[in-house]
Amino acid sequence: MDVLNLAGSFKEFKGNKNIDRPQMVRVLEDVFRTLIKKKYGSDENFDIIVNPTKGDLELWRVREIVPDGEVTDERSQISLTEARIEDEDYDVGEEFYQQLSLADFPRRAILAAGQTLKSRIMELEKDQIRQRYEDRIGDVVICEVHQILKRDILVVDDATGNELILPKREMIRGDFFRKGDMVKGVIKSVEMNNNSPVVHVSRTNALFLEKLLEQEVPEIEDGLISVKKIVRIPGERAKVAVESYDDRIDPVGACVGMKGSRIHGIVRELKNENIDIINFTQNPTLFIQRALTPARVTSIELDDEEKRASVYLKPDQVSLAIGKKGTNIKLASDLTGFEIDVYRDTEEYEVDVDLDEFSDEIDGWIIDELKNIGCDTAKSVLTLSIEELVRRTDLEEETIQDVIRILSEELEE
């Protein structure tokens, strides 16, 4: 084994691991300077020349040539007679260069240096991976499924060949992958485990949806549209608040695309996750109203101190505001920062009761008579005047007055 072979081995590591060249040079110099110190006690009079591209490495010992008998420090000086053994042209005051090889060092020291070099290279490679992926947190990666474990899926980054982890808790409901499948996700975090970097990929993080939108909507990438906030229940529903910095651009329309062309691809990637794109506004009332899409809000009362909103809706809009399993109202609360309470707008829409419900107080033939003129509920009867009811039915005025009294008392209760 000689210096060139060891340097060549280092070059092979560099080619396989794609280690940064300046760091590579520093590691190699450190290893050989340690080797020199152990033998000579100091590395002050030694030059290490590294060419990482070719794998060349040279060790040179540099000493000052002094007259015979005047050598006071053998580490930094050499006598003229000894120098002229190598080259007769040397003279006093010049520098004497002596190239070293690994054969000049003890075998154990060489083996130790080799182990240190390999260890330092592995540490450097791990640090490079950690730095590379820390700088890419929030970026989308395309990976190939390599191995499916109980709690995680090991995937290989298609761009770098590094192994990443997709935890099953970071997968969307409905995700199902086999070995060899391609999967897309966002880099969520980088952790050190047993001195090795562990890169976690997520498909449930809000950043994943944001990056997918950025890829599909050029106006977001160009900075014309800003994604203000995203809230998600992965695989079920998401709400995205967007804002345009150009009055000529409709941010919602731009994100959805013509006939939904832009949003459809994202919906498919997210396993048919329902995505609501809404216009962001600083007006909290209007923002809450938009956030409760697709429900149509009648009125809103805000408590800014408690960050609560009382929202009133038509009876047929309440279920839309709440959503399946409460997903719509939960996401609207998360998006706006207000705790939202939903109420039926009872002032505008009074409770109505079917006439058959009064059969214990009103004779059946009277109810049938009212039904014959189209009055089958209490409210439909009360909207007509007594004169109109007498004219259109065979009922007496006194009977009609009793019916109106019974119906009015029930609705008031």
**Domain residue extents for the chain:** 3-132, 138-204, 355-412
Q: What is the CATH number of domain 355-412?
A: 1.10.150
Can you name the residues that pair with 150 across neighbouring β-strands?
none
| Residue 104 Cα to chain centre, angstroms | 55
Query: Where residue 1 falls among pLDDT bands split at 50, 70, 90?
Result: very low
Tokens of 49: 């020349």
Same fold? 3-132, 138-204: no
Tens digit of each residue's pLDDT (9 = 90 or more) over 270-328: 999 999 999 999 999 999 999 998 998 988 999 988 899 999 988 888 888 998 888 99
Q: What is the CA radius of gyration of the chain?
A: 41
Strands (E), 67-215: 77-79, 95-100, 140-148, 152-157, 163-167, 182-193, 196-202
Predicted pLDDT at 12: 55
Average pLDDT over the chain, rounded to whole? 86
Predicted pLDDT at 347: 53
Tens digit of each residue's pLDDT (9 = 90 or more) over 11-31: 555 555 556 677 777 877 888
Predicted pLDDT at 279: 94
- Does residue 147 carry a pLDDT above 90? yes
More confident residue, 126 or 274: 274
Opening angle at CA 232, ends 163 and 230, nearest 5: 95
Fold classification of 138-204 is OB fold (Dihydrolipoamide Acetyltransferase, E2P) (2.40.50)
Amino acid at 190: V
Fold classification of 3-132 is N Utilization Substance Protein A; Chain:P; domain 4 (3.30.1480)
Amino acid at 4: L
- Does residue 349 carry a pLDDT above 50? no
> What percent of the chain lies above the pLDDT cut of 70?
92
Tens digit of each residue's pLDDT (9 = 90 or more) over 40-83: 888 888 888 877 666 567 888 888 888 988 888 888 888 988 88
Backbone φ and ψ of 39, nearest 5°: -90, -45
Query: Where residue 3 falls among pLDDT bands split at 50, 70, 90?
Result: very low
> What percent of the chain lies above the pLDDT cut of 90?
41
CA distance 220 to 227: 8
What is the DSSP secondary-structure string of 188-234? EEEEEETTEEEEEEESSSHHHHHHHHHHH-HHHHTTSEEEEEEEEET
Per mean pLDDT, which range of 330-339, 352-361, 390-399 is the poorest?
A: 352-361
- Does residue 386 carry a pLDDT above 60? yes
Sheet holding 297-303, edge to edge: 297-303, 308-313, 339-344
What is the DSSP secondary-structure string of 315-361? HHHHHHHH-GGGHHHHHHHHHHS-EEEEEE-TTTS----BGGGGTTT
- Does residue 370 carry a pLDDT above 50? yes
Tally the residues of the chain: 413
Strand pairing report for 140-148 and 152-157? antiparallel
Neighbours of 356 (CB within 10 A): 12
- Does residue 185 carry a pLDDT above 90? yes
Predicted pLDDT at 29: 81
Predicted pLDDT at 20: 65
Per mean pLDDT, which range of 54-58, 95-99, 152-156, 210-214 is the poorest?
A: 54-58
